[in-house]
Structure 1
Amino acid sequence: MQSAWIDRDAEAAVARYADLGRDLALRVYTTRLLGQDPRLVLHGGGNTSVKTQLTDLNGDTVDVLCVKGSGWDMGSIEPAGLPAVRLAPLLKLRSRETLSDEEMVRLQRANLIDPAAPNPSVEALLHAFIPHKFVDHTHSTAVLALTDQPDGEALCREVYGARVGYVPYLMPGFGLAKAAAQVFDADPSVEGLILVKHGIFSFGGDARQAYERMIELVTLAEQRLAKNRKPALSNGGLPARPAKIADVAPIVRGACSMPDSKTDGAWKRFVLDFRGSDAVMNFVNGAEVARYGQAGVVTPDHNIRIKNKPLVVAAPGDGDLAGFRERVRDAVAAYGERYRTYFTDNNARVGGIKTMLDPMPRVVLVPGVGLFGLGRSKKDAKVAADLAEAAIATIGDAEAVGRFEPLPESDLFDVEYWSLEQAKLGNAKELPLAGQVAVITGAAGSIGFATAKAFAAAGAEVALLDVDEAAVKAKARAIGGAAQGIRCDVTDAASVRDAFAQVAVAFGGVDIAVSNAGAAWQGRIGEVDEAVLRQSFELNFYGHQRVAQAAVRIMQAQGTGGCLLFNVSKQAVNPGPDFGPYGLPKAATLFLVRQYALDHGSEGIRANAVNADRIRSGLLTEEMIASRSKLRGVSERAYMQGNLLGREVAAEDVAQAFLAQALALKTTADVTTVDGGNIAAALR
């Protein structure tokens, strides 16, 4: 590794946080340097501290420990993420023989300088008991590759000798803090501590010294891993033509979904994040992947996010998707049974006081294809995939110089079900569409964009499809998060297939398809050219059919039902003059909705429609409003408000109707009218 310290940047941080003092400013700076390197920490892992002086709320200057707050991410930390705790009361705790986790948390919170600050790290006492001013802690993949061996401590002693102290594995908390302090006291000249099967600490009198000691110590581990390496992992037997990611992802996603016991017809689904780098493929294709791939996590800190081990499934062939689906479902069921046994046995060991988490894997390894991270959101899925890639680096290095051996399952259970670790995940109530993937066509237009925003706000991951690629990508950026903008021409079957394949790769599948793309052609039906009618049918009928077929194909692979939503228009039941070229295919689409409801209801796939009228959009342009109002002999305002409520209907109103239909789990073949009230367009 190379030091990323730059004097100019360090001084810029000091200037930026001048009101907080040099110590805290440089603590933020080097914490970010550590946190931005995935070889050191990922997603809230690791912690840092500085011992300094601050003024408390009474105006008194006190010695404090500023330590990373629980759950904060080191790569983007701000001063608020380093809560200050009075140091003297923390040091006093070292004289105790025992201290429960609950007492530790209360005592730390009771001594916060700012009562509203976040909880200090669970390893705050370890930072306090080490007398150095700056203390850094990471989960270096290189160091873990050395410690995660049957003779890990001996291997580390070979590398570091007396430069560091060695602390046998203990769960974080008071016991580990005391043990680490005792190791340090035995030789105060050490530059850091190796926490066996956990990570590494470094310390120093200033921020740069502590940081660069970490870099140097990790570099020594990397150099050792480069020596006397065994040959690369040998490949196992793989199909001549591995299945495509877009075909595999929905099968994996469906197999890992669970019926919601609280709501009939609902599913708990996961979003997927795919990885297929050379390192990943070398790992998942290894002949012994079932051994080293399912041995366990590389550090217990990862356990709460990716469980105690990933799932490995058999390699799928391109022509055997049906067989692969059965094998994956069997593998997931077996994984769940093993997890329940793991929970039951260990819960009995601790007194039967824990409540089991869901038994689904968070990482799935598929030989010949790659790996999938699973989460209730795309963000969580990316976290799982990131941690899995870090584990691959660690396990690959461990296997190259020895044999990967993680902690026993009992230790992993204690961390996974540790209340202080679970608190990192938060207890926020999930949004109604959490875990679901929604695809919206015509998403660069007013109704499509409003619908995408509404679904994203309800917790869904959204893919925005439109023939205007630049516009739809801009709309996706405006929504933010993991929203995807994808070019799709619904009049082109290949374009539709490709767009849905991209969605399957990006998110793992599709649960809701809002078929919204359309355009309005006008003309007297007895005079209109046949080419105009055919053009309108290609977009306003066959476009809906192509989208629905593509969505159903993925929904069937998942086996968890789904929802098809169609923008039909009131023209389907209440035609306007000279609007036949638009109304005819829309009437056919209304029948199409009911046919999908009839033919696929037994698969849990619902089909509903919204009949909207007079929505300002790319379809109903200002020019068309002028034309239609003139044809009816009314003003433009009267035309737009010509309904029973006397109100103009907006794209957002249509979006809310689509959202309501998506959430109505026992409603199918429904047509919801959104037009402000038009009796002639009302269905029976």
Structure 2
Amino acid sequence: MASATHPEVAALLARSHRLGSDPRNTNYAGGNASAKGTATDPVTGGDTELMWVKGSGGDLGTLTEDGLAVLRLDRLRALRDVYPGVEREDEMVAAFDYCLHGKGGAAPSIDTAMHGLVDAAHVDHLHPDSGIALACAADGEALTKECYGDRVAWVPWRRPGFQLGLDIAAIKESAPQAVGVVLGGHGITAWGATAEECERNALWMIRTAETFLAERGKAEPFGPLRPGYTPLDADRRRERAAQLAPLIRGLASQDRPQVGHFDDSDAVLDFLARTEHPRLAALGTSCPDHFLRTKVRPLVLDLPPDAEPDAVTARLRQLHTAYREEYAAYYRRHATPSSPAMRGADPAIVLVPGVGMFSFGKDKQTARVAGEFYLNAVNVMRGAEAVSAYSPIEEAEKFRIEYWELEEAKLRRMPKPKPLATRVALVTGAGSGIGKAIAHRLAAEGACVLVADVDAANAAAVAEELGGPDKAVAVTVDVTDEQQIAAAFRTAALAFGGVDLVVNNAGISISKPLLETSAQDWDRQHAIMARGSFLVSREAARVMTEQGLGGDIVYIASKNAVFAGPNNIAYSATKADQAHQVRLLAAELGAHAIRVNGVNPDGVVRGSGIFAGGWGAQRAATYGIEEDKLGEFYAQRTLLKREVLPEHVANAVFALTGGELTHTTGLHVPVDAGVAAAFLR
């Protein structure tokens, strides 16, 4: 039986959720909160003082009890006596493990000392834009005094760790009137005797800073509008972004594949339209939480919004080369023999004036959050420039954070990526049947999925099942319509940065004898499956070639592509067309590292949209059996005597694209439980 939640833990979680749900208070996964209290020691039966604090990598807004580290205060405070000094303070993180209570919960973060050493029952450490603006202003100490008086103290920049905890504890002891501190280059910390008092003090600090910046600050902290840099109108802006996204994603994925996110919010566009944006962007971000996700500075296109596309492409390539060289030089300037290896020199943030911001990460959420963090940095720059000058921490200190062994250890604790992580898949006919099963399998293996279907409601339902916009996006696509196909790929570019994996699955089936098959039947069958697959593959090849990352195109063909059956001329002929497209495109696109393969299912009755739409009744009539016996009939005519389900087709798609068959192209995989007449030869 699970033990009841301690009252202090319940209060801590509620406070964390309130603070973390408002982006004005802290960024995603930024900051931490703690509570101290007394609980029964199960070994002695006596009372023991404990501290519950958000563990490493957690998020305040969604924090659960499992995300808390639980430590004994007597042991944590006793670490003062063995502290070896600031040069060896990283050793203290390992010592936290010896302070854990019971199983200890989540891994303690580097900020644990800040919470444990400060003599207050409740402590909140947050990264509000307003507080960081003061922390990153050139005269931040004086501004903190002006803003708060003696109720908030200033702590000069110090990398998070045990010494920072000692520094804050000393301030709390020497300044009993203080309710918190501004941490230079970092954020704020507030405390209180109760959860309510601590939250009240934190919010007072944040809102007071907001008011101070608004009332004290100048009107245009980023300078006047730069001539020629007015944002494009919404339609042109998003069209240009969709054109650029595959190129930029390809550039940002030279070291390792990345998923993209696009942001053209007013705050981003206004920043890029102002005269001071090149200077400020070059200074980079400051708060450790920011640049750990955004890198120390972004790549900024230095051309106006109306520049010719070819010129923009060429300039982005030049700037990317320069960025990589500069980042490698930054690493060499500061790396020591004990530094972790350079993780990659590609930008995480790319800014295009008049268009918006492209951000990148190992998955959609990481890419989106990187963009949110850079927007936080823009807000910080605005506040600091409004009352002073933006002055982030020195480059050497940024390097000490970015290549901190403790951060490297956090990365090592992360789970191994799924096989299709970073890959963006577009599946046609994914609103039901085989396509739906494929979409589910690809998403389960880590891919971001564009759920494409002519039925908008079905597509939306499947996208929601897959986890919503960070996992899947629905697009309404009639594959006979070139404009709708192009629009689907533009959506993919804006949502995820491009496309890596396309499954041609959309189809219908018209089952009639030759003499009953009209020209309209023939044309409709071929328009959807032969022509539709061609159009989708052509658009996919354009995007994949622009990205330069290779890719996969998979055709869901059929056993009927090679097997001649009765009363099936239109369907089987178009499946043969698709099967040969696989061969033709494999031969043509291999030079771009784009692999093209096919899957030949047979007899997929249960869960099939085609069979449910009348095809099943037609085929049952052809074979002289009841429709509900069709799956069993198909199974009995196979070598394995097994019924084929949509999930089996999805398994084959994953087998072709999941990373094991890297040297396979032009292949057709039968998924028919064994139909000898359809053996490829």
User: What TM-score bracket applies, with the shorter chain setting the length?
Assistant: over 0.9
- The 2-side partners of 1:458 and 1:522 are apart by 35
C-alpha offsets along residues 245-291 of structure 1, whole Å, 9 cap, x if unaligned? 211111110111126xxxxxxxx321111111111110122233222
For structure 2, list consecutive stretches of 5 or more residues without a partner in the other structure.
none
Matched, 1:682 2:671: no
Is 1:22 the equivalent of 2:7? yes
Deviating above 4 A after TM superposition, structure 1's stretches of 4 or more consecutive aligned residues are 239-243, 315-319
CA contact (8 A) 2:305 2:353 kept: no
Partner of 2:518: 529
Give the drift of 1:621: 3.2
1:570-609 counterparts in 2 under 5 A?
570-609=559-598
> 1:150-549 counterparts in 2 under 5 A?
150-226=138-214, 227-231=216-220, 233=222, 234-236=224-226, 237-238=228-229, 244-258=240-254, 268-315=256-303, 320-348=308-336, 351-425=337-411, 426-480=413-467, 482-549=471-538
- Does the Cα contact within 8 Å between 2:635 and 2:673 map onto a contact in 1? no
Q: Is the 8 A contact 2:69 2:104 kept in 1?
A: no
Query: 2:611: which partner in 1?
Result: 620
Q: Which residue of 2 aligns with 1:39?
A: 24
Q: CA deviation at 1:346?
A: 0.8
Please say if residues 98 and 174 of structure 1, whose CA atoms lie closer than 8 Å, have aligned partners that are also in contact: no
Q: Give matches, 1:111-150, under 5 Å.
A: 111-150=99-138
Task: Give the deviation of 1:598 after TM superposition.
Answer: 2.1
**CA distance, structure 2, for counterparts of residue 86 and residue 491 of structure 1:** 66
How far has the Cα of 1:488 moved from its partner? Answer: 0.9
Amino acid at match of 1:655: A
Can you list the C-alpha shifts for 1:278-325, whole angstroms capped at 9, x where unaligned? Answer: 111101222332221231223012232222122212347578333322
Query: 1:221 is aligned with what amino acid?
Result: A
In structure 2, C-alpha distance between the alignment counterparts of 1:66 and 1:639, rounded to whole Å: 60
Paired letter, 1:255:
L
- Give the match for residue 649 of structure 1: 644
Mapped partners of 1:453, 1:521: distance in 2: 27
- Structure 1 position 102, deviation (Å): 5.1
| Residues 1:317 and 1:572: Cα distance change in structure 2 (over 3 Å) | farther
Give the secondary-structure state (helix, strand or coil) at the position aligned to 1:83.
strand
SS at match of 1:50: strand
Paired residues in the alignment total 658
Q: CA deviation at 1:98?
A: 2.2
One-letter code of the match for 2:547?
Q
Are residues 602 and 622 of structure 1, via their aligned partners in 2, closer, same or farther at CA, if it must alter by over 3 Å? closer
Please tell me whether the aligned partners of residues 305 and 384 of structure 1 are also in contact (alpha carbons under 8 angstroms): yes
Q: Determine helix, strand or coil for the equivalent of 2:49.
A: strand
TM-superposed CA distance for 1:626, in Å, is 4.7
Q: 1:257 to 1:83 in 2, by over 3 A?
A: closer
Residue by residue over 1:369-411, the C-alpha shift from the partner in whole angstroms, topping out at 9 and shown as x without a partner, is: 1112211111111111111121111112222222211111111
CA distance in 2, matches of 1:18, 1:89: 24
Partners of 1:101 and 1:492 lie apart in 2 by 63
Q: Once the two structures are superposed, what CA deviation does each residue of 1:332-365 show, in whole Å capped at 9, x if it has no partner?
A: 22211111111111113xx444211112221111
Query: TM-score, normalised to structure 1's length?
Result: 0.92
Q: Answer with 243-252 or 316-325: which moved more.
A: 316-325
Secondary structure at 2:100 match in 1? coil
Question: For residues 214-271 of structure 1, what are the alpha-carbon distances to aligned partners after superposition, in whole Å with 9 as ceiling and x for unaligned?
Answer: 1111222112211241425333333876562211111110111126xxxxxxxx3211
Partner of 1:119, secondary structure, is coil
1:630/1:532 CA distance change after superposition, 3 Å:
closer
CA contact (8 A) 2:229 2:272 kept: no
Q: Which amino acid aligns with 2:167?
A: A
- Give the % identical residues: 36
- Structure 1 stretches of 5 or more lacking a match? 1-16, 260-267
User: Which residue pairs with 1:67 in the alignment?
Assistant: 53
Query: Helix, strand or coil: the match of 1:215?
Result: helix
Question: C-alpha displacement at 1:533, in angstroms?
Answer: 0.8
Equivalent residue of 2:102, what SS?
coil
Moved more, 189-198 or 393-402: 393-402
Q: What amino acid is the match of 2:366?
A: D
1:116 deviates by 4.4
**What is the root-mean-square deviation of aligned Cα atoms in Å?**
2.1
- What code does the residue aligned with 2:403 have? Y
Residue 451 of structure 2 aligns to which amino acid in structure 1? L
- Asked whether the 8 Å contact 1:83–1:114 carries over to 2, the reply is no
Q: Which amino acid aligns with 1:46?
A: G
Partners of 1:282 and 1:517 in 2: how far apart?
42
Cα-to-partner distance string for 1:486-545 (whole Å, 9 max, x where unaligned) = 211112111111111111111110001101000001222244211111111111111111
Residue pair 1:510, 1:554 contacting (<8 A) in 2 also? yes
Separation in 1, partners of 2:467, 2:107 = 29
In the aligned structure 2, how far is the partner of 1:180 from the partner of 1:443?
56
Bigger mean CA offset, 19-28 vs 474-483: 19-28
Distance across 1 between alignment mates of 2:613 and 2:553: 30
CA distance in structure 2 between the aligned counterparts of 1:419 and 1:43, rounded to whole angstroms: 22
Cα distance, 1:70–1:509 mapped onto 2, change above 3 Å = same
User: Following the alignment from structure 1 to structure 2, what is the Cα–Cα distance between the partners of residues 588 and 389?
Assistant: 49
Contact in 1 for aligned 2:229/2:353 (Cα 8 Å): yes
Distance change (3 Å), C-alpha of 1:372 and 1:167: same
Per-residue CA shift, 1:8-60, capped at 9, x if unaligned?
A: xxxxxxxxx99334322222211211111112222221111122101123132
